[in-house]
Structure 1
Amino acid sequence: MEKMESIYSNLEDGILTITFKGDSKSSTITEKSLSELRSAIQEVYDHDKIEGVIITGEGEEIFSLGTDVAELIKLSELNARKFAENGQEVCSFIENCPKPILAAINGCALGSGFELALACHFRLASENVFFAFPEIAYGIIPGFGGTQRLTKLLGKTKALEYLMTGKRINAEYAEQIGLVSEVVSYKEEMLKKAKKWLMAIVNNADVALGMLVACVNAAENPDENGFQTEANGFANCFKIVELKENLLKIIDKKVLLK
């Protein structure tokens, strides 16, 4: 993978860790970082050696502060729409990836940083984390799909509460409402647990994993027949040569069903 300015990556044991560079002043989403993140995720789609992904931030305090205000100031109505659509495309690229992508949220996730985390298949958080959409205080709204994903996750009333007030969601409450799967005491432990999660997942058949992503996403798409997507995905699993061998092992009691 080519050297990038706003993120860096490391591949180990089939798990690609993508880290947003930056500190409390510079960990923001820009056109450049969106482009680089898109390129990194494209690598995930293209290369079999990458089996799963962890997205995290640098340090212990910041996952992402959201969109760089200096870039927002430059936007007009026309290029604001293009900027939002670009961010939505990157988030959809993450959401629809057939390989598991986990956000290891090491610190505050604000605005578009929160939106990127919502697009991931799973989220783990350290104890100091909080989430918020502060955009309303500046007279704007989230643009990368945050209004849609938060509503699907929390329901209309709760989503409007956090979108309209900009209130923070702390790590403990985020776990209670299903925003994150687990809260871990500190970043190093969280990254170990994130890798453990992904290693357990990628040991399963990769075709079936991709089908599961497609089916679950179809359940939220009113323009798609989720039941037909599921039936098609189920049938596609039988293209895999090893499938019947695995089924025979179960019959022969050579493996235990979990």
Structure 2
Amino acid sequence: MNFENILSTSNQGVATITINRPSKLNALNKATIEELHQAFKAADQDKDIKVIVVTGSGEKAFVAGADISEFANFDVENGGKLAAKGQEILFDYVQNLSTPVIAAVNGFALGGGLELAMSAHFRIASDNAKMGLPEVSLGVIPGYGGTQRLPQLIGKGRAMEMIMTAGMIDAQTALSYGLVNHVVTQEELLPLAEKIAGKIIKNSSVAIAKAIDAINANYKDGINGFEVEVKHFGDCFGTEDFKEGTTAFLEKRKADFPGK
């Protein structure tokens, strides 16, 4: 699959999707969002891919925001459609993928960039990373899930301050807030992502997919996360992965999960 704005590669069960618009600090435009959707969809459907890593090209930015020139002249209707479409095909889509997604945040992750990182199942960052939601400085609010996911991740008060001030936080602050799981040098960032991915790959992809769905259920209106957990727990007992995992444990050997 050929892309203009992103790169997509795979190696030993890990797909790496790189936003590749360095001259624009990897800003998200409509074309890039659509290409990201296609790349994530293809990786999720590939049975050989067990983990997806998303990052930005170059050393300055993960994604420095949305491409403002595309929507500066939008009216109310078009603005609403822009947010709804983006959430549908990328941000909500990534959050609900059954394949684990790690955001490797290298440099600036602002606006839509931070919203993309927050859509991933968890985040790691380089020590030069800067994160923020500056939308109110443009007279608009975060529209790709930022007002919802940021409070879930760091708490209401801190999210309110970040959004209202339109300020940035550094990587260490993001780590202390729980917004990212690890902070390393830029050179260590992708190797760390690959190391974590390697640990994930050793486990049951079927169980991991069910765990992702159960965890996400806690944040969905009208859905009882505990009930989803109970159902998925029971469903696991009917999988080949469960049979292999328990048998391997009893036989004191490493499991070789078939992913079924």
TM-score (norm 1): 0.94
- CA spacing shift, 1:242–1:114, aligned 2, 3 Å: closer
**Paired residues of 2:204 and 2:241 also in contact (CA < 8 A):** no
Identity %: 37
Alpha-carbon shift at residue 255 of structure 1 (Å) = 5.4
8 Å CA contact retained: 1:126, 1:190: yes
Q: Does 1:57 align with 2:48?
A: no
Provide the rounded CA distance (Å) in 1 between the counterparts of 2:157 and 2:25: 33
Mapped partners of 1:116, 1:79: distance in 2: 21
* Equivalence for 2:27: 28
Does 2:69 correspond to 1:70? yes
The 1-side partners of 2:243 and 2:139 are apart by 57
Contact 1:24 1:62 in 2 (8 A): no
8 Å contact from structure 1 (residues 9, 17) kept in 2: yes
Equivalent position of 1:161 in the other structure? 161
CA drift of 1:75 comes to 1.5
What is the aligned residue count?
Answer: 254
Residues 245 and 38 (structure 1 numbering): CA distance in 2 closer, same or farther, change over 3 Å?
A: closer
Quote the offset at 1:24 in angstroms: 5.0
Tell me what 2:138 maps to. 138
Q: RMSD value over aligned CA atoms?
A: 1.5
1:194-205 alignment runs, 5 A limit: 194-205=193-204
Structure 1 position 131, deviation (Å): 0.3
- Structure 1's unaligned 5+ residue stretches are none
Equivalent position of 1:218 in the other structure: 217
Secondary structure, aligned partner of 2:24: coil
CA contact under 8 A between 2:206 and 2:241: conserved in structure 1?
A: no
1:33 is aligned with what amino acid?
T
Q: Which residue of 1 aligns with 2:258?
A: none
CA 1:250 to 1:159, structure 2 compared with 1: closer, same or farther past 3 Å? same
- Residue by residue, what CA displacement relative to the aligned partner does 1:149-193 show, whole Å, maximum 9, x if unpaired? 00111222111100000111100011111100000111x311011
Q: 1:96–1:214: 8 Å Cα contact kept in structure 2?
A: yes
Rounded Cα–Cα distance in structure 2 between residues aligned with 1:43 and 1:130: 30
Aligned-pair distance for 1:249? 3.0
* Unaligned segments of structure 2, at least 5 residues: 256-260
Could you tell me which residue of structure 1 aligns to residue 124 of structure 2? 124
Q: Distance in 1 between matches of 2:73 and 2:44?
A: 33
The aligned residue for residue 92 of structure 1 is 92
SS in 2 for 1:223: coil
Between the aligned partners of 1:29 and 1:92, the Cα distance in structure 2 is 16
Query: CA offsets, 1:200-233, max 9 Å, x none?
Result: 1021111100011001001112311111111111
Deviates more, 1:102-111 or 1:218-227: 218-227
CA distance in 2, matches of 1:151, 1:99: 24
Contact 1:124 1:183 in 2 (8 A): yes
Q: Is residue 2:41 matched to residue 1:42?
A: yes
Aligned to 1:206: 205
Q: Is the 1:15–1:51 contact (alpha carbons within 8 Å) kept by the matching residues of 2? A: yes
CA distance in 2, matches of 1:23, 1:46: 28
**Aligned-partner SS, 1:131:** strand
Pair 4,252 (structure 1): closer, same or farther in 2 beyond 3 Å:
closer
- Matched with 1:176 is 176
Q: Structure 1 residue runs of 4+, over 6 Å off?
A: none
Deviation at 1:242, TM superposition (A): 4.1
- Taking the aligned partners of 2:98 and 2:201, their CA distance within structure 1 comes to 11
**How far apart, CA to CA, are the structure 2 residues paired with 1:47 and 1:98?**
11
